Structure 1
């Protein structure tokens, strides 16, 4: 009973330490492996002595195998095939030629600098050819480099893991069976890759078919069906040929991800959570099992081995693998610097150390120590400097990005698009309504007739290089879904939407990564009607330090009265953004706004014109600076209550706001 409780306590401590490391890393925006390594070594026998992973026995190997399977499946699931097509040549070279270069370069460095025998040196090199997706993905989440570089790093991390693990097994087999010929080793590698890929492809297709056709299975149970199916494919491949299960999990994840499942988002979230848990527990246990003394015993030669791998072998590999790729020197330099090793290297090295020790071959503990030294140096040096390097190379995603993709071709969205155009920024409208798209084309606005959920349409609109995504259809629920999808898929710097109206008036100003556009509870249909009937004036005001509080209070009063709608804010010379409802205006801001003015409608009626005549914004007026206090003179047709509310704060001025030309007046 005491023994079982001790094992239970070991797992509880590992889970608590792992999740704590994830939380701290999330708060500090650094790769989680940094704290996972620190916590594991601190809690291990060489630290506080709380964790003793060896007490788990064979259970540790089981945990490692099943967790790595989940990690690789989730990596395959998240691989975007449409993005891989853009970098397929470079990625193919990295997984093939790059693996060979790292194997040869790392082996020679370990032999000549680390003074390892050739067999052990190449075993080390085979273990570090992989770049871990469990380190790359969180790193890119925080750094957010441009999409092409991110796709190469993510694709390399996922695809090279099974290749590297299988290569390491082949090298280990060669060491354990010294009489094996090179041809036998190559055949063994090919068989493992082929068997794993075949089982993964067939099993992934079958899983996708079951999830689509089996309507009686609930959404929650479907996630568990995928988990069970994935482990089943892993076990089947392992039974047929050892170490082929890793390739099976990656390929099955890619096939399931390409199956266009209706529950794909829930599946990704579930697998992502399992991956975080698996990585957290594994790194804590494996780093706790590491002997710190064995790392110091390696000497300076091993340190130089890792530095040569980072500063020599990796840049040569990137240079040769991306020779004709079209990548610029900044992108190649960033790829040369970022190659952190992760959980697959650590787990396979730990298992190999056990196997070598059991067979009486020296070097198992040294190999494990050298692999962990490589992990620590690549993670700490590359992971912690990645953000700075990306900024220095100007590779941050949407670095200085401008322009906007707007969903909806209603009058208000077309007006905003025209304002962006007048500024000289790119803008693209997307709508499913042919008539609305035709009106946008008449105003010389770029428009795509498609759904805002269509990823290809968003790519065609250039959202991966735009600064703003705005969903402002007349359906608030649809806007929320569209904006969330755009934030997850493209991660533009600014994602805004006109949220659904809450009957109780408690509309949120943010939903996850999405901000509410313009003002809370925007009556978009009302403002579209104002624009269509020419009942608006377009103005611009500068908020200045003297009297700033007065100006802000005036703005808020007009907004509350429903007479003013802030559209855009200019900060400095380069910042030109949609006004979010959460925006805190500052002195120096210039606000472009719409002001409701019902007088044109009255003039139309007095002159006998149709009340439904539309305001044609054929040419926007040049927006000049107008003090916001001028707007009361345009409130003559407002309700008595609105005029009184405004009059309490501001006095009328003789200056007029700008008025767009109206057709037919």
Structure 2
């Protein structure tokens, strides 16, 4: 028992450490987790989860994959799919089908897999997935059109890869195995329909209970997690391999009920999925034996990976987007970028065991084949997307942008200063009248509620590295910081100091739900806008050897406000009471200063 406890602890620790290292050093998480898993497993021999966990290994993988697919299917809101442009619709339907067929043919004729295994793995390989695409888009800062296509392809196709694999598996069994009759196929179809009913029942039931207040707030996450496992287990007990279908339908049902707490549910499921993905990926890679690992370098597998990279993906994109308004350069970029992620590997690990149990011995190389494709595409696409996007002219200005929430005289004028420095900036406000300040100065703005569930689809957040809340409501600023902390990270979220005497008396608000404080502790919304009304001006001062920052501070009026530093590298730093920053030679200091009296 102690040994098993140690193994579980080590697997969890390696997964979390890998994610942290990937975030800290801006590396693809899959690459770090691959190295960690291989070191702990086949290289150093510390663990072999498949042997160490015994009968628990298969169920753990299955449940984890089910939860991961449920989290992905929560994004399938039909209102958003209806609004897709022609290119995205074509790529997610015709393109996905072509990728499945071409990938299956390559797996059979190049990698030497049987038709059953080839069509199963071909279905799994249509998945790119938001977990690998979104970090790449943020890293490369693509223009809106190619970014939207890649993002929506990942979101829409992600839950369907495993389902395509399930149906391919059953159909090929019907054609190739004597024990599988037409009655067996009908039974599978009936089981699939039952799985759909189970998923819809659980999804609708949870949505109804949540909306009518039958589940307290503190129990919602636990109820959802338990229900996902129940739906998966019940469906899989009735008909093997249909549990994935049940949880996908369950997620889609909840997503399209538009319940008020779906945002919190998504955050919880995203956190759970990250942990499960990390753990499962370590388990899969650590379970690889040396022979399987070396088989990745077999010329059949290498040629298969090259075919998937340079033939299957580009061909499916170019054929599916004929007679659309995509330019050749956009097709070229989208046709190159298709990194397979952890979901593909975890699902293929699940089907490898299922196929082996069904008597398909060639499924033994399924994990190594998938691992080779995942690792190859993540490295190739992760390290090339920025360079290729720049060469094709499909990347936006590389300077980190600022998303300002709340339009006022101060925020509009501040945004104008940022725009003059060629820093991407956008003001968001739900009030059309308050946006008049932004319209008057001609700065970019977005009319809408930033906390709406449609924000991810209405606003492309890719250009913006910082979000600053400049509204007059303390509680709203804190709510924004709390909501967007998973997306931006606390180090890139700022809000105005509290208006203790006029506002919501939130001086004791916990720091972990608020952003960093902007400027100075007494520079709240009222003070800053009063200064603008009194004629204060934004000043840009370059720090040099001849005019140092210390000299600048000595000459600065006591009523002036230090706002930010625009580094000569293009990066920005906001002044804050929580940390001391100093400009270097060539940096520009932005401040709000009293007008010069004549």
Residue 39 of structure 2: aligned partner? 42
Residue 565 of structure 1: aligned partner? 561
Residue 321 of structure 2: aligned partner? 322
- 1-structure distance, mates of 2:196, 2:358: 31
Q: 1:389 to 1:54 in 2, by over 3 A?
A: farther
1:61 aligns with 2:58: yes
Q: How does 1:427-438 map to 2 (within 5 A)?
A: 436=434
Q: 1:419 to 1:114 in 2, by over 3 A?
A: closer
Residue 311 of structure 1: aligned partner? 310
Residue 408 of structure 1: aligned partner? 407
2:68 to 68, 71, 76: 71
Asked if 2 retains the 8 angstrom alpha-carbon contact of 1:95 and 1:160, the reply is: no
Deviations 1:429-450 (A, max 9, x none): 5556676566777788887775
Asked if 2 retains the 8 angstrom alpha-carbon contact of 1:136 and 1:157, the reply is: no
1:107 aligns with 2:108: no
Residue 208 of structure 1: aligned partner? 207
TM-score, with length taken from structure 2: 0.80
1:526 aligns with 2:555: no
Asked if 2 retains the 8 angstrom alpha-carbon contact of 1:568 and 1:576, the reply is: no
Q: In terms of mean alpha carbon deviation, does 102-111 or 576-585 score higher?
A: 576-585
SS of match in other structure, 1:44: helix
Residue 71 of structure 1 deviates from its aligned partner by 0.6
Unpaired segments of 5 or more residues in structure 2?
A: none
Q: 1:142 to 1:414 in 2, by over 3 A?
A: closer
SS of match in other structure, 2:159: helix
Residue 148 of structure 1 deviates from its aligned partner by 0.5
- 1-structure distance, mates of 2:202, 2:345: 28
Residue 11 of structure 1 deviates from its aligned partner by 2.3
- 2-structure distance, mates of 1:438, 1:124: 55
Residue 163 of structure 1: aligned partner? 163
SS of match in other structure, 2:207: helix
Residue 213 of structure 1 deviates from its aligned partner by 1.7
- 1-structure distance, mates of 2:515, 2:478: 8
Q: In terms of mean alpha carbon deviation, does 229-238 or 475-484 score higher?
A: 475-484
Q: How does 1:227-626 map to 2 (within 5 A)?
A: 227-297=225-295, 299-358=298-357, 360-393=359-392, 395=394, 399=398, 405=404, 407-409=406-408, 411-416=409-414, 436=434, 451-454=449-452, 470-482=468-480, 485=483, 496-500=494-498, 516-532=517-533, 534=534, 536=536, 539-554=539-554, 558=557, 561=558, 563-566=559-562, 580-581=575-576, 584-591=582-589, 593-596=591-594
- 2-structure distance, mates of 1:354, 1:459: 38
Residue 94 of structure 1 deviates from its aligned partner by 4.1
Residue 148 of structure 1: aligned partner? 148
Deviations 1:109-137 (A, max 9, x none): 23433344445444443443333555445
- 1-structure distance, mates of 2:68, 2:353: 22
- 2-structure distance, mates of 1:29, 1:225: 35
Deviations 1:298-328 (A, max 9, x none): 7312221221112111111122233355444
Deviations 1:120-168 (A, max 9, x none): 4444434433335554455556555454044224314523333333234
1:21 to 18, 34, 49: 18
Q: 1:102 to 1:195 in 2, by over 3 A?
A: farther
Higher RCO (CA 8 Å, separation ≥ 6 residues):
2
- 2-structure distance, mates of 1:578, 1:42: 39
SS of match in other structure, 1:363: helix
TM-score, with length taken from structure 1: 0.73
SS of match in other structure, 2:380: helix
Residue 455 of structure 1 deviates from its aligned partner by 6.0
Deviations 1:82-132 (A, max 9, x none): 654454654554454334323332333234333444454444434433335
Asked if 2 retains the 8 angstrom alpha-carbon contact of 1:131 and 1:161, the reply is: no
The count of residues paired between Structure 1 and Structure 2 equals 587
Q: 1:170 to 1:324 in 2, by over 3 A?
A: farther
Q: 1:386 to 1:28 in 2, by over 3 A?
A: farther
Residue 69 of structure 1 deviates from its aligned partner by 0.9
**For the pair shown, which has the larger CA radius of gyration, 1 or 2?**
1
Asked if 2 retains the 8 angstrom alpha-carbon contact of 1:405 and 1:463, the reply is: no
Unpaired segments of 5 or more residues in structure 1?
A: 598-630, 635-655, 657-665
- 1-structure distance, mates of 2:571, 2:340: 41
Residue 645 of structure 1: aligned partner? none
Residue 296 of structure 1 deviates from its aligned partner by 3.4
Residue 426 of structure 1 deviates from its aligned partner by 9.0
Asked if 2 retains the 8 angstrom alpha-carbon contact of 1:502 and 1:521, the reply is: no
| Aligned-residue CA RMSD (Å) | 4.5
- 2-structure distance, mates of 1:56, 1:276: 21
2:7 to 10, 18, 33: 10
1:98 aligns with 2:95: yes
Q: 1:107 to 1:470 in 2, by over 3 A?
A: closer
Residue 358 of structure 1 deviates from its aligned partner by 4.6
- 2-structure distance, mates of 1:399, 1:158: 29
- 2-structure distance, mates of 1:432, 1:117: 57
1:130 to 127, 131, 156: 127
Deviations 1:194-231 (A, max 9, x none): 5544543443232122122225x432311001111222
Residue 259 of structure 1 deviates from its aligned partner by 4.3
